[in-house]
Amino acid sequence: MPQIAQLAETFSSQVFWLLVFFGLVFFVVGRGMVPKVTGAVELRDRQISDDLAAAQTARDRADEEEEAWRKRENDNRAAAQALVADAKAKAAAENERKLAAEQERLDARLASAEADIAEAHKSALAEIEDVAAEATQDIVQRLAGVSVTAEAARTKVKEALHHG
């Protein structure tokens, strides 16, 4: 076993060169280079977390803007709806008014037409009375040979017409 057989003759050289090379590794690589590597890692981690934080704030701001926009939009919509409702109400009132006027006009025409009809009815009745009176006079003359005056015939016809 060379590890034991050569122990005495190689011990000092082994320890010496190990200390030399491990010392080199420790001071050059471990102390010199590793902190730079870990530093780069830390730098990157910090940058990433900074970027994430910035993204988060940007997102929050965007959310706020959206909220404000939404609020504004809702207000606008409400205003527009009020405007529409107003216009609707106005239009309805106008319609109502126009309809009322038309109704009035129609009512007036109806009343005048009814009056005309009543007039015609009355004059027709008078005519019937006249004709009836004349007919009565004539009939009495022929049947009884009595001549009645036009006044008497008219009065009698009126009575007969009125009393059925």
Partner 1 sequence: MAAEPAKVDPMYQFTIQPLFGSEGWELAGYNIAFTNSALWMAITTVVLWLFVLGGMKREVVPGRWQMAVESFTGFIDDMLEANIGKAGRKYVPYIFSLFMFILFANVLGLVPFGVVGVHPFTFTSHFTITGVLALLSFGIVLVVGFLKHGLHFLSLFVPQGTPWYMVPLIAPIEFISFMVRPFSLALRLFVAMMAGHLLLEVLSTFVISGGNAGAGYGLLVGVPTFVLMIGICALEILVAGIQAYVFALLSALYINDAENLH
The smaller minimum CB distance to partner 1, of residues 21 and 69, is found at 21
Phi (first) and psi of residue 102, to 5 degrees: -60, -40
Scan for tokens 């420790």, then name that residue. 26
The smaller minimum CB distance to partner 1, of residues 51 and 138, is found at 51
With contacts defined by CB under 8 A, name the span among 12-20, 67-75, 118-126, 152-160 that binds partner 1: 12-20
Name the token pair of 86.
């107003």
CA distance from start to end of the chain? 163
Distances (CA, A) of 86 to 73, 74, 105: 20, 18, 29
The reply to whether 6 sits near partner 1 by the rule CB under 8 A is yes
The smaller minimum CB distance to partner 1, of residues 15 and 68, is found at 15
Within 34-93, the residues that bind partner 1 by CB under 8 A are 34-41, 43-44, 47
**Helix, strand, coil shares, percent, the chain, to 5:** 95, 0, 5
The reply to whether 147 sits near partner 1 by the rule CB under 8 A is no
Residue 97 amino acid letter = R
With contacts defined by CB under 8 A, name the span among 14-22, 52-60, 89-97, 128-136 that binds partner 1: 14-22
Distance in angstroms (rounded) separating the CA atoms of residues 126 and 95: 46
Smallest gap from residue 28 Cβ to partner 1 (A): 6
Number of residues in contact with partner 1, rule: CB under 8 A?
38
The smaller minimum CB distance to partner 1, of residues 48 and 80, is found at 48
Half-sphere exposure (CA, 13 Å, Cβ side) for 117? 6
- The residues that touch partner 1, with contacts defined as CB under 8 A, are 1-3, 6-7, 9-22, 24-26, 28-31, 33-41, 43-44, 47
